[in-house]
Amino acid sequence: MAATSLSIMPSSSASISFLTCRRRISFAPINCLSSSSPSPPATVLSQDDLKKLAALKAVEYVKSGMVLGLGTGSTAAFVVTEIGELLASGKLQDIVGVPTSKRTYEQAKSLGIPLSTLDNHSYLNLAIDGADEVDPDLNLVKGRGGALLREKMVEAASEKFVVVVDETKLVTGLGGSGLAMPVEVVQFCWKYNLTRLQELFREQGCEAKLRLDADGKPYVTDNSNYIVDLYFKMPILDASDAAKEISSFEGVVEHGLFLDMASAVIIAGKDGVSVKAK
């Protein structure tokens, strides 16, 4: 289904209203967030300001009694902070969070958010996370923060998946930013898979690189795997086929193509906040 676009301005008030929760959570229609004529913000906002605006709008989807997937990354961190503050104030109650990384776990724990895992909560009402790229059909590249496997597991288990980004993350085609599209691989014979991945996309001018940490050593994920980053000189021609081909390689654990997963994408930009939904 084609994506539709709605526009809203960031609220001048910090208050957030919530619908009364029933045992089975129901979602208000996406179009409840719309307004007819957005106008530019009064001041120039930094990228972090834009991320926070999108995060605050995403938290409006959260209702008391929900089991939530808590994303990873700079934008998701704003979401987790806001949820923690709302719980502390009593405006939200009976929330359970399922974190997608060790660092999100530590942040949420420090804020007093009750936490669980997919083992104990296999059905989630809502997941909120950032993205590295968003195409016009709301397909995503995620995982530059290194948490792609746990993110995909948690977000696939969620009834709704709301993505929060600033406008710099919008692309005409996945891979089009020229930045990394991550592939998580086992440590065993990682060079073998790096070579195979680069050869798979050779005609698209792809360069495959092992991700390194700040000390120049291989970056190790929360799952004790490595990440091979793919850099494309042009958008991926067929993301669905690419995802299948990558997944077919033995030793590949997961990839950063999140296709047909997002329910809505909240975008903060110079003209305000807009919502695209399927």
Which alpha helices (DSSP H) does the chain contain, by range?
Answer: 47-59, 74-89, 102-110, 148-156, 190-200, 239-247
Q: For the sheet containing 226-231, what is the strand order?
A: 207-210, 226-231, 181-185, 252-255
Return the pLDDT at 241: 97
Return the pLDDT at 17: 37
Return the pLDDT at 30: 40
Distance CA 149, CA 156 (A): 11
Per DSSP, 232 falls in state -
Tell me the pLDDT of the chain (278 aa) as tens digits: 556 555 544 444 433 333 333 334 444 444 444 444 455 555 777 888 888 989 999 999 999 999 999 999 999 999 999 999 999 999 999 999 999 999 999 999 999 999 999 999 999 999 999 999 999 999 999 999 999 999 999 999 999 999 999 999 999 999 999 999 999 999 999 999 999 999 999 988 899 999 999 999 999 999 999 999 999 999 999 999 999 999 999 999 999 999 999 999 999 998 889 999 98
Told to judge if 82 belongs to the known catalytic residues of this protein, a careful annotator would answer no
Catalytic residue among 133, 151, 155, 184: 151
Q: Which two tokens stand for residue 130?
A: 């950032």
3-state SS class at 169? helix
Break the chain into its structural domains and give their ranges: 4-8+45-171+260-271, 181-251
The pTM score is: 0.83
Distance CA 50, CA 128 (A): 16
CATH of span 4-8+45-171+260-271: 3.40.50.1360
CATH class of 181-251: alpha beta
Return the pLDDT at 2: 52
